[in-house]
Copies of this chain bind each other. A is one copy, B any other.
Amino acid sequence: MRELQDRIRREGKVLPGNIIKVDGFLNHRVDVTLMEHIADEFARYFDVRDITMVLTAEASGIALATICAQKYGVPMVFAKKAKSDNIEGGLYQSEIYSYTYKKKVTQILSKEWLTAGDKVLIIDDFMANGEAVRGLCDLVSQAGAELKGIGIAVEKGFQGGGDRLRGMDLNYHALAVIERADENGIVFRE
């Protein structure tokens, strides 16, 4: 998606350790108009008339997932990070490793809001190693729901999460795949 790539090239910052900051328009300050364009673009790849919900992970995916849900006329559900070891009943749970927090995190989702009849489109703003999305897929599977697709705005292609999903029988699509990011700039995968 050209508009998104242009924004990343123009406003993204590359920090030591392959960290790419896009917090001016995607995940700290959010340009809602850009989110609308991203949601429209996803609608070209996924059959958004045949989903019952958009699913994302707390916290930064919520803004984009909300706009997608609005455009597609379905509710938005977000998996929460468990707040303590003392998790109440009635929840799906998946364990993921958070590279940001450098520890295991448990994603939780109330069984009330994801059921076997659901057709789920997973949306997230950013993917590196893909742990958050792996956890979300696991939640969908636990519910016996149907996974209709996975849409990611920005993928760090060199960290393997997206390629692992491409190797599986999943309807995965990322709108901007960063192949390389260093002092020479940001290069996108064709």
Contact = CB atoms under 8 A, between A and B. Distances in A.
A53 B25 CA distance: 13
Contacts of A77: 28-30
In the complex, the count of this chain's copies comes to: 2
A52 to B, nearest CB: 11
A63 B76 contact: yes
A31 B75 contact: yes
Contacts of A76: 29-30, 32, 63
A10 to B, nearest CB: 15
Interface stretch (A65-73, A132-140, A148-156, A157-165): A65-73
A170 interface: no
A23 B88 CA distance: 15
A19 to B, nearest CB: 11
A75 B30 CA distance: 6
A100 B83 contact: yes
22 contacts: A23-B110, A23-B113, A24-B113, A28-B77, A28-B78, A28-B80, A28-B109, A29-B53, A30-B69, A30-B76, A32-B66, A32-B70, A32-B76, A58-B59, A59-B62, A59-B78, A59-B80, A62-B63, A63-B63, A63-B66, A63-B78, A67-B70
